[in-house]
Amino acid sequence: MKISRTSAVVVAGAATASLLAGGVAYASTTSPAAPISPAPNAAAKHAQRHHGHHRPGLAARAVHGEFVVHNKRGDRVLDVQRGQVTAVTPAGSGTAGTVTLKSVDGFFATYSFTPTSHVRNDGSKATPSSVKVGEFARVLAVKSGGTDSVRGLVARTAHAKAGKTTTAPTS
């Protein structure tokens, strides 16, 4: 195969340029000058400004679901649900009680309280016994075996939700 003179010059020029770039890269890696940190991108700047804050998105509109998280102790299955409290079973005989929620799409689920369950009602720290039928609630539960144990539950009375446009599910 015959190579034209122009092609040979282009190839030689590219080889020389790559050798020079390699030499510059080698020189910059061997010099004891202070390291240059890259400029933060837009996502990093946003995260710095909004650390600890979240934006309402898909999670804020979720009605119910199940997902898996991984940590040092392994995988954990978590359930989330938003809806109206339809039943509350008081604590007794070795249990901390249960709560049943109904989402706007008709999905029902019952969750068991544990001694480590975190409960808030109308913005204040509360106990599982303070949750009442008819309130609107969000629950995060750990699924283990056949039980969903409440990790956290936030409830609001109907008057606290009156300013919202979401309608309550009917039984």
Percent of the chain with pLDDT over 70: 57
157 or 59, which is more confident? 157
Residues contacting 116, CB < 8 A, separation 6+? 151
Rounded to an integer, the average pLDDT of 36-65 is 65
- Higher pLDDT: 57 or 160? It is 57
Distance CA 74, CA 84 (A): 32
Q: Is the pTM of this model over 0.75?
A: no
Per DSSP, the residues of 73-99 read: TEEEEEEEEEEEEEEEE--BTTB--EE
Q: Are strands 118-121 and 147-156 parallel, antiparallel or unpaired?
A: parallel
- End-to-end CA, the chain: 82
Q: How many CB atoms lie within 10 A of CB 138?
A: 16
Q: Which residues contact 93 (CB under 8 A, 6 or more apart)?
A: none
Give 80's pLDDT tier (boundaries 50, 70, 90).
very high
State pLDDT tens for residues 91-111: 877 778 999 999 999 999 999
Structure tokens at 76: 């954990």
